[in-house]
Amino acid sequence: MKIHDQAIYAGTFDPVTFGHLDIASRAHKLFPNLIIAIAAQPEHKGVLFNINERVDMFRHCVSEHPGIEVVGFDGLLAEFARERGINIIIRGLRAVSDFEGELMMTLANRTQNRELETIFLMPSYRWLYLTSSIVREIAKMGGKLDNFVHPYVAEKLRQKCFPGIA
């Protein structure tokens, strides 16, 4: 059996939530060298933050964790993993409803890179309901964000949703 010390946790992270950070933290315990790979997805409808903003927010949130690298990428995750020489992908699963989409993505990745293995981690029960979409909606309505995202991310959401308001 081959032992791996590195993995990729990939997603859009628009924005990064406490659920994402929970998965990243637990993945980092399993893989001391963890790459957070943030997909550019400029064509994806509903993306609030550009790739540089999303990378900045995630980097800020994990800055005290040596061994976690945050990078943006454009293109296929399977190809990105091959270029990095990594064959472990971490994905989060919140509920049964996530499983079908994640299974299809895993199989598609495997057709592109046969060496890839996907490990699914569930967030703590406290974050099972949490999605970036929910956070974006709460932010757009001026709701309280501190139970969902890091204070740095909350400030970036306020600036994005209500520009010009201090």
pLDDT in tens, 73-91: 999 999 999 999 999 999 9
Residue 166 pLDDT > 60: no
Tell me the pLDDT of the chain averaged across its residues: 90
Mean pLDDT within 14-22: 96
Side-chain half-sphere CA neighbours of 32 within 13 A: 3
Instruction: Give dist(CA 127, CA 144) in Å, integer.
Output: 16
Confidence of residue 1 (pLDDT cuts 50, 70, 90): very low
* Burial (CB count <10 Å: 0-12, 13-18, 19+), residue 102: middle
pLDDT in tens, 86-142: 999 999 988 766 777 788 888 888 888 898 999 999 989 898 889 999 999 999 999
| Whole-angstrom distance, CA of residue 92 vs CA of residue 47 | 19
d(CA 72, CA 3) in angstroms, rounded, equals 26
Residue 121's Cβ-count burial label (10 Å; 0-12, 13-18, 19+) is middle
Cis before 123 (ω within 30): no
For domain 6-128, give the CATH number: 3.40.50.620
